[in-house]
Amino acid sequence: MSDDTAQRNRPDAAVPRHIAIVMDGNGRWARSRFMPRQAGHRAGVDSVRQVVETAGHLGVEALTLFAFSSENWSRPNDEVSVLMDLMLRTLQKESARLHQNNVRIRLIGERSHLSERLRLEIAEAERLTEHNTGLTLVVAVSFGGRWDMLQAARRFAQDVREGVRDPDDLDEALFSGYLSLDGLPDPDLLIRTGGEQRISNFLLWHLAYAELHFVDTLWPDFGAEELKAAVASFAGRERRFGLTSEQVERLSRA
């Protein structure tokens, strides 16, 4: 990584421009209360609300929430239905308020696997909020990091076939433009709740230099205070992007 990249990713920023979250632990939260797993998913929506609001107040530019992975399709049918239904109803209920709060909604993932109703609701929320200038809220649904890289490679190959692109021109910036998060800075901070310390096929390309924050807190117990604690932990880290500490210090004085 060049000096240039480190300069662009100024290491002195106390607030991450982009936070990504793996919202895990809903099922265990419910089970510990002798409730069905779906009660945990429902409780998780309150955490989403709090985190979106707090991220906006902190001045975060983008928040990407992992709501449903490519692999989650293999869960029992009734749990998948509950999750899809919850997503639809949450969008219907929250879009107007998010719009009032100047939030821009964007969905990443394999849309063709979603129901037509959900696809329409997503398109409507994206259209309604597309000119908003506050927080960009990215919801990853039917998303996998490997799926994202494959769809990007496929589209690039098509452009080459059509003579629009030359393989020799392919560099990181050009390839990023074919990925789902096109136009947003890479996440600076990845949070995963629920105690597991893994990526689970989330943003494989974009997390290259993210700071990782793993907490045992189950997603329905995660709220404004926990988000602020994660951001405080981020602020105390030195991001070196392959450079030495001395180089980083020189850059932050420049």
Active site residues: 24, 72
Residue 26 binds ligand IPE, judged by CB under 6 A: yes
For ligand IPE, the binding residue among 50, 132, 200, 233 (CB under 6 A) is 200
The reply, when asked if residue 253 is annotated as ligand binding, is: no
User: Exposure string (b/e) for 180-204, b if CB count within 10 Å is 16 or more?
Assistant: bbeebebbbbbbbbbeeeebebbbe
For ligand IPE, the binding residue among 19, 20, 23, 84 (CB under 6 A) is 23
Both tokens assigned to 98: 């998010």
The reply, when asked if residue 196 is annotated as ligand binding, is: no
Tallying the residues shown for the chain, one arrives at: 254
Residue 188 binds Mg ion, judged by CB under 5 A: no
Residue 66 binds ligand IPE, judged by CB under 6 A: yes
User: Exposure string (b/e) for 133-164, b if CB count within 10 Å is 16 or more?
Assistant: eebbbbbbbbbbbebbbeebeeebeeeeeeee
The reply, when asked if residue 71 is annotated as ligand binding, is: yes
The reply, when asked if residue 205 is annotated as ligand binding, is: no
When the beta carbons of 143 and 234 are compared against ligand IPE, the nearer one is 143
For Mg ion, the binding residue among 22, 24, 103, 211 (CB under 5 A) is 24
Kindly give, in sequence order, each residue whose CB lies less than 8 Å from that of residue 11, ignoring residues fewer than 6 positions away: 238, 239, 240, 241, 248, 251, 252
Kindly give, in sequence order, each residue whose CB lies less than 8 Å from that of residue 51, ignoring residues fewer than 6 positions away: 21, 63, 65, 222, 223, 224, 227
Q: Which H or E run contains 178?
A: none
Residue 222 binds ligand IPE, judged by CB under 6 A: no
Q: Which residues bind Mg ion (CB under 5 A)?
A: 24
Applying CB under 6 A, the residues found at the interface with ligand IPE are 22-28, 66-69, 72, 83, 194, 196, 198, 200
Binding residues: 24-29, 37, 41, 69-71, 73, 75, 192, 198-200, 211
Annotated binding site for substrate: 25-29, 37, 41, 69-71, 73, 75, 192, 198-200
